[in-house]
Structure 1
Amino acid sequence: MSGNSVIDIQKVNEVKDLIVSFVKMKRAQRIYLPNNEILQKLHIELVHKFKKFFISEEKLSLMITPTDLFYEKQLVYSNPDRAESLAFQLYSNGINNLVFYRGVEDRELFDLISILNIDMLDEDSLEDDIVTLMWSREFNFIEYSIRDDYYLPAQQGNDIFEFINKKEISEQGNERSDLEFDPEEFEPPPVIPHNEVALTDEEIENIRAEIEYEDENALQIGMLDVLLELLFQERDQEEQARLSMIIEKFLMALFYEGNLRILNALLMRFNEHINGVFSSSDIIRALYEKIISLLSNGENISELINMLNSTYHQGLNDVLLFLSNLRKDIVPLLLNKLVDLKHIAYRRVFCEAIAQNGYDYVDMIGSRLNSSSEPIIKDIIYILGKVKNPKALDYLYKAMKFPSRELRLEAVSSIGRYREENSEKYLVEALLDPDLDVRTAALRNIVAHGSYQTVNSLINFIGTEGFMNKSQQEKKRFFMALAKLAGPALVGFLEDVIINKKYPSIQIENEMKISAIAALEMIGDHNALMVLRKAKGVCRQPVTDYIENAIKSILK
């Protein structure tokens, strides 16, 4: 067996082990609270395995079928149980290829698993499927492609970087498409034991506890309905005051007990009533506003943080929903309290709450970039990307110049969430960053959101010495991005790169021409084919080999 074969087998086994960790982490996130030691251990283990894999690889590409995952045509995961199968969950949502790139962040892995778990909770209650949720998340180092026969509209050019190593798939004339897959007729392959994920006795007990919890929830809502009805019908002022005090103490007691889930349900019910059956009652509306003000004051926010920092933990969604119920002018208080939170997961939830109401507080938020704490600065950059106020771009541009690679990467990701003229200009400038991961993130955001006007800036950049000194792979990615943005209008420029331009060395000349050939292959129209045939007569080896392969690919 050759050395390469040994390496391939090792990599396949490494991917199998990585996916086992991914599935375990996915299951654990559904069961445990965010700061549970088991969940944290599994998260660290998963991140470590990804980093180990990317020491020698640029990307991890998984082909997806209804029951299986394949890496380099090798089976690395199989589970015929549709209720638990990672493969079936992805495939049934239209995803037939999932790619992780070197530099994938801990947060992106956590968010991806969270999206998969959201999808599994209650399909009937979801407005968005996995694809929409992943699209809205705007991952920098995770990409996916959609089945041609999926019911969603085709996503043109969804993964241009994958195109570099694209495998040609022959079309089958009259065979049934994957869309016609019938689970009742499907003969599942043997179950691979190491991919089985069974519920433990403890997890079964947790599920039972959840059912009991929901019953208690309904009881509490019924009590609130009765109390509000009594208050609505009461005309005696003293009795109104007494009932109001009972309702206030009832809700505040739930807060002090740390029972945020039930408290959220009751606040939502209360809000429904003041906008519905009790909308004519000034007393009930005033009581609701008083309770929200009490929950929003500094003392109670500090109490919430003490809960989150203690051994008693809350679900992330419960905390976010609670913060969303509070007063809209609470942003300055939450900003001041960020530093008091010990756990990054809860800090990020506070960031989401700040961003929800932070549009008018951009300058206050931006001023926190002067903090001495790098984790807090990273959170502020994240918030600035979420507030969707164009003024935030000036602060994000400042963050793009920070010495810390992690902060610059976060800044580029946040800038990529905007669709403003300045955001494209800043992303083009980020292509000069000294770190490859930052440059790659900038290029991905340009491809995802850039406009035709960006093309001229990119073309000018290609002519610089800095671009000439980049690696072959980075040059190729850049030309592919340019082809994605400009399309057939770029053919003339690519012809000039291959046939007419002069370069400082043979190596740079070959790299530039090979990159331009890949872009022409991606464009793939008649004019691109004519340029390739013309170039074949004037270029030398090894460039001509790439030209021949590109011509064959286009003709297919």
Structure 2
Amino acid sequence: MIENRNALKMTSGQTAGGPGHWESPEDPIREARDVVLQLARTINTRRIHLPNNPIYQKFLGELYAKVGSYLARRGTLIFGIHRFEFLYEGEAIYNDSNQSDSLPFRLYKDGVSALAFLRGVTEEELRDFVETIHRGYEVSSAEDDVVTLLWERHFQHISYEVIDNPLEGQAVPEPPAVETLETRVASIAPATAQDLKPEEPLPRESYVLTEAEVEKLREEMAAEATRDMGYQLIDLIYEVLAVQDEMEDYPLALDIMERVIRVFVRRGRFDQAARTLKALRDLERDSARLPERHRALLAEAVERMGEAERVRELGPVLNKGLEGDTTDLEAYLRMLPRRAVDPLLDLLGEVNLRKARRVLCEALVDLIGGDIEVLVKRLDDSRWFVVRNLVYILRRTGSSSANPYLRRTLEHPHPKVRQETLRAMDAIGMARSAEFLLGLLESNDDICRTWALERLAALGDNRAAEPLWRLVRSREFRERSWNDKRAYFEALGRCAPPSMLPAVQALYEKRGWFEKPKDVEMRAGAAIALGVMGGEQAVDLLEQGCQAEETVIREACRQALEGIRRRPGSPRPEPAPVQALVDEGETI
């Protein structure tokens, strides 16, 4: 498929991704440095050009070629990320200390500590990755941090590692501090006896606070005292609830704890809401030693935390935005009782911010467990983003009982729902059924067809060979794009038994007096299939094809030969002479 063009060789003076071929240097550190330099160059170009700009498209092609060549030679490519550096196997290979433009700093400040490209990465994925990082430069809202934007994409062959508080303890330059009451008070040193006897009296305004500042200071001190008293009150009530003796005012103590949790939630203090709810949960878990009446009241109090009215109180808070880490919010949501599932699912359609919806999804995965009925009854929701999130949760549950429902969402009119459905099908094993994948080849959706072809190729199931052969020999197939043809022929090569080699060879050798471009593409596709099938006879044909007049035939034969050479135990002939493309703007 597409990745076969990554390991081609360049003639002198040609650049990767342009006409001809590119050959990576043998030094892995140099290869990795080339990749990261090209990545930074491509992202910087995108920041000043539109997506359809030829310069940007050229750089993107070069990036794809360099990443693909590295992956073909050495497997997964992993970069460590420090504040201003990319690292490869512990060695710094790229440095940019300009905070406003630095690519490593842009990733690191949002928590990305490692970045990996996996075999099979497509040019489309790299384009989406570049666009995602570009958007990370453009937005100013904390809602659209780089990690959230990457999470939205669900890349199949690009992964990353996230750490919390990446800049903690590091001397990161900060903007000039704004003077506050606290900083002014802190800057006044304690007076000593010596200080109180100056030679000349100090101006009164140098050390006296204004009335407004004094009042502000009093308010802050009172708030701090109230905060401390609030925590002490919670601890005190918890001790009362843990008393093993029968107590008449037990319901009142529980009511206070419930009210405290609701206040914390309304103020967005999810750390304290989670701490208090956990105290109730722990008490409920260890309630065997409590009086029976207390156990029943405690269980009822915990259940009430999942009531629709209380869960809805989260909506306005989440729509205001989430600053920093969302761990406390997720911890609070995961501790809610099972009855909170339906109200939380309602919130998925009411919360406007993607970061908050992501946290809701992750918490719902735990709360739902394997019971997916509560999800499937909502799959007909008219809001596409709600359906996509439901499919995401289905994927995370890993339940094979989701199969019939995923077949339904695969027909959804919105492409993002269909893409998420395909990821879910991968996760729960539907991509391992050749019959199911063959059925998808009839889809009108290019994404579905490509996905099915890639999985069929990975399966290498001989049962798929005949249906694929009938498809590529149909009259309609001849009119498809070259990229489509190439994908089908590669899948055919991976599935075809040795007995099909003569038929594929005959298609490759078939020529007419007035051969049209579509006919040439069919022959080029057959060459790709021969390269996947392999064998000495295929090698001879492909070597001859490297001298063909048609550019698309030459390129297909070279790609096929490269694939054969990389295959363990396969014939490895000397590389065929490299010829430049006829025209720099010519594509296949």
Structure 1 and Structure 2 fold alike (TM over 0.5): yes
**Which letter maps to 2:343?**
L
Distance 1:284 1:298, change over 3 A: same
SS at match of 2:428: coil
Distance 2:36 2:438 in 1: 37
Q: Residue 365 of structure 1: which of 375, 400, 406 is its match? A: 375
Distance 2:86 2:325 in 1: 32
SS at match of 1:368: coil
> C-alpha deviations, 1:168-192, integer Å up to 9, x for none?
xxxxxxxxxxxxxxxxxxxxxxxxx
SS at match of 1:238: coil
Distance 1:398 1:511 in 2: 36
What residue in structure 2 maps to residue 495 of structure 1?
A: 501
With the length of structure 2 as denominator, give the TM-score of the two structures.
0.56
Distance 1:316 1:100 in 2: 32
Distance 2:56 2:411 in 1: 27
What residue in structure 1 maps to residue 289 of structure 2?
A: 280
SS at match of 1:296: coil
Describe how 1:332-343 pairs up with structure 2 within 5 A.
332-343=342-353
Report deviation, 1:439: 3.3
Distance 2:50 2:38 in 1: 8
Q: Residue 357 of structure 2: which of 333, 337, 347 is its match? A: 347
Aligned CA-pair RMSD: 5.7
Report deviation, 1:308: 1.9
**Which letter maps to 1:530?**
E
Distance 2:227 2:427 in 1: 38
Distance 1:379 1:312 in 2: 19
What residue in structure 2 maps to residue 319 of structure 1?
A: 329
What residue in structure 2 maps to residue 397 of structure 1?
A: 407
**2:467 matches 1:457:** no
Distance 1:19 1:431 in 2: 35
SS at match of 2:336: coil
Q: Residue 528 of structure 2: which of 495, 515, 518 is its match? A: 515
**2:539 matches 1:530:** no
Describe how 1:19-34 pairs up with structure 2 within 5 A.
none
Describe how 1:71-82 pairs up with structure 2 within 5 A.
none
Structure 2, unpaired ranges of 5+: 1-12, 20-34, 68-76, 137-146, 161-170, 184-225, 512-517, 549-553, 575-588
What residue in structure 1 maps to residue 259 of structure 2?
A: 249
Distance 1:309 1:107 in 2: 28
Report deviation, 1:326: 1.5
SS at match of 2:158: strand
What residue in structure 2 maps to residue 415 of structure 1?
A: 425
Describe how 1:61-460 pairs up with structure 2 within 5 A.
67-68=85-86, 95=116, 99=121, 101-102=123-124, 139-140=154-155, 142-143=157-158, 198-200=173-175, 224=234, 226-233=236-243, 235-275=245-285, 279-281=288-290, 282=292, 285-310=295-320, 316-358=326-368, 362-420=372-430, 425-444=435-454, 451=459, 453=461, 455-457=462-464, 460=467
Distance 1:92 1:403, change over 3 A: closer
Residues 479 and 519 in structure 1, CA contact (< 8 A), matched pair in contact too: no
Report deviation, 1:244: 3.3
Distance 1:91 1:518 in 2: 39
Report deviation, 1:324: 1.9
With the length of structure 1 as denominator, give the TM-score of the two structures.
0.59
Distance 1:516 1:90 in 2: 43
Distance 2:449 2:399 in 1: 24
> C-alpha deviations, 1:179-233, integer Å up to 9, x for none?
xxxxxxxxxxxxxxxxx98554679x9xx9xxxxxxx999987765554334333
**Which letter maps to 1:405?**
P
Report deviation, 1:462: 4.1
What residue in structure 2 maps to residue 33 of structure 1?
A: none
Distance 1:467 1:79, change over 3 A: farther
User: Which protein has the bigger helix share?
Assistant: 1
Aligned length: 436
Structure 1, unpaired ranges of 5+: 22-44, 114-129, 131-135, 146-195, 209-215, 521-527
Report deviation, 1:101: 3.6
> C-alpha deviations, 1:26-73, integer Å up to 9, x for none?
xxxxxxxxxxxxxxxxxxx98998787986646746565665489xxx
Report deviation, 1:301: 1.7
Distance 1:446 1:548, change over 3 A: closer
SS at match of 1:233: coil
Residues 101 and 142 in structure 1, CA contact (< 8 A), matched pair in contact too: no
Q: Percent same amino acid among aligned pairs?
A: 16
**2:26 matches 1:16:** no
Distance 1:463 1:512 in 2: 14
Residues 359 and 389 in structure 1, CA contact (< 8 A), matched pair in contact too: no
Distance 1:327 1:107 in 2: 41
Distance 1:226 1:494, change over 3 A: farther
